[in-house]
Chains A and B, each alone.
Chain A
Amino acid sequence: MPALPLIAHQRPEAVLAYRAGAPISALRFLSEARSLAERLPAGTHVLNLCADRYRFTVGLAASLLRGKCSLLPPSYTPEVIRQLRSFAPDAFCLTDDAHCSVDLPRMFYGESDDYAEGALESEWSVPRIDAAQSAAYVFTSGSTGAPVPHHKSWGRLVQCVRLEAVRLSPIDRGGCAILATVPAQHMYGLESTVLLPLQSGGALCAERAFFPADIAAALHALPRPRALFTTPVHLRSLLAAEVSLPQTDLIVSATAMLSANLAREVERRYGAALLEIYGSTETGQIATRRTARELEWHLWPGVRLERREERCWAHGGHIEGLTPMADILELKGEEHFVLHGRTSDLVNIAGKRSSLAYLNFQLNAIPGVLDGAFFVREDEPASLAGVTRLAALVVAPSLDTPALLERLRERIDAVFLPRPLLRVQALPRNETGKLPQHLLRTLVAQAAAQAPDLFA
């Protein structure tokens, strides 16, 4: 197996990151990564929770240098951390939050560990990592209550983002500064906001821009070419806040489907091409489209889709083996497809993904819950940022609502907490045990009539 370089930067003074607008050199990055690598604990699995994207990246590099594999679970609830411990008993947590309370052995990595310029290595040598080395396990919610691990080797990850760079001009030309509104700790964040700048000779931005005014200020502080990697929620919030952005060379959206109208409005308002990335935790990213102008997605070179019976499968390119796709895809020749939505069990709230089966399992595992089901409120108008939450019906006569919500919060990500959580005597299950959508809607309407306050 070949070994692939950790970074594509060719010179020690090349900019690899910005923090508060100040450049951080590739030499400093490598010096800090090698130094941190020596100090990491013995465990071979790392939960890297550093919120500062530069520290996350140093942590990732240090882990790779020591042959340690990063764990990226779908959330950090106590229940998920328990499951992570049973998956990898030697796992430890690397964090830049002094108040981090994750129940794993913790190593703090913060400002006090930053290098002074004088302490940098004098030699310039870019480490190479064996392509077959395990770089990460990224987890999906699964449907049985336990997160499902997906293995990512270093070589496949690198191959994926090198193909991505080719699609996302001007990133392919190197030196592009990348600002992101998403954290590093999921597939999109890891690939596009960490590995893409490392492997294209670009620069990542340590801060995660969150509020519309943060995004504008952070972009102003970056030199051109500069790109914004974000989600439909943040794009909608930018437009709603009527914030103006400095000239930006590329805007990229992923995690949830972007409407063509929103894409056109963003392109008109900010004068930049908006490319949307399609991918999944299982495959990584595999396609892009210019959403304002085209419906069809263009697959990464070498990646192919195949229909077998009812499902679509992906293979080729950077994908390990034959991988089933959870979405409903219509093939248009070898290199293109149309996305017709997700299979009905999968939910995506503000870019976070789970399955109704997983959420229902966690709800019904709470002592005192006799029956319960989550459902999608399709009738509900979206909020300003375009988000519609889930609702749930629960039969739990011995638990009050605050206690129930507290138990649920220990098990599922807050974004999936039901709004509303409706208490009922029994669920309207039909003879096969299923919950017909129209009966759920009737129950919600009845509950709304009884307690109009709750549905103001």
Chain B
Amino acid sequence: MEQAVPKPTTTSADALEREIAELIVQGLNLPMSAAQIDPEAPLYGDGLGLDSIDILEIALIVSKQYGIVLRADNQENERIFRSLRLFSQYVAAHRTK
């Protein structure tokens, strides 16, 4: 009998959130440490202050790392960029690797 394909390594929500914060800080060269990102603050505009180029960079990072394809016409976009926490929940739900 064939073995089931193993699911992506289950990581706790907190660990994934920290991992994504680390990827964002490194990938965007942000002048702060991952721990300094408020997980409840907006990513876009005020809050973390990211702009549209950053969002494009984040799209590349999560596509490489987690196999997630972001689309501009996704109705959820406004929600998922509202905070690091919501974004990492979206990643957890849609990751393919």
Residue ranges of A at the interface with B (Cβ–Cβ < 8 Å): 207-214, 217, 233-234, 237, 240-241, 350, 380, 383-385, 387, 389, 405, 409, 414-415, 417, 419-421, 453-456
Contact = CB atoms under 8 A, between A and B. Distances in A.
Given A214-B71, A237-B56, A415-B53, A454 B27 contact: no
Interface stretch (B2-10, B12-20, B59-67, B83-91): B59-67
A210 B26 contact: no
A211 B59 contact: yes
B51 interface: yes
B58 to A, nearest CB: 10
Interface of B: 25-34, 36, 45, 49, 51-53, 56-57, 59-61, 63-64, 69-73
Nearest to B34: A456
A233 B32 contact: no
B60 A417 contact: no
Given A210-B56, A453-B32, A241 B25 contact: no
A212 B71 CA distance: 8
A383 B60 CA distance: 10
Contact of A454 (B31, B49, B57, B72): B31
Contacts of B25: 456
B29 A383 contact: yes
Contact of A419 (B29, B61, B69): B29
Contacts of A234: 56
A419 B51 contact: no
A453 B36 CA distance: 10
Contact of A385 (B31, B45, B56, B73): B56
Contact of B31 (A209, A212, A217, A421): A421
Nearest to A391: B31
Contacts of B64: 240, 384
A22 to B, nearest CB: 14
12 contacts: A211-B56, A211-B69, A213-B71, A234-B56, A237-B56, A383-B27, A384-B57, A384-B61, A419-B28, A421-B31, A453-B32, A456-B25
Contacts of B30: 419
Contacts of B52: 210
A456 B27 CA distance: 10
B94 to A, nearest CB: 13
Most buried by B among A241, A383, A385: A383
Nearest to A210: B72
Contacts of B34: 456
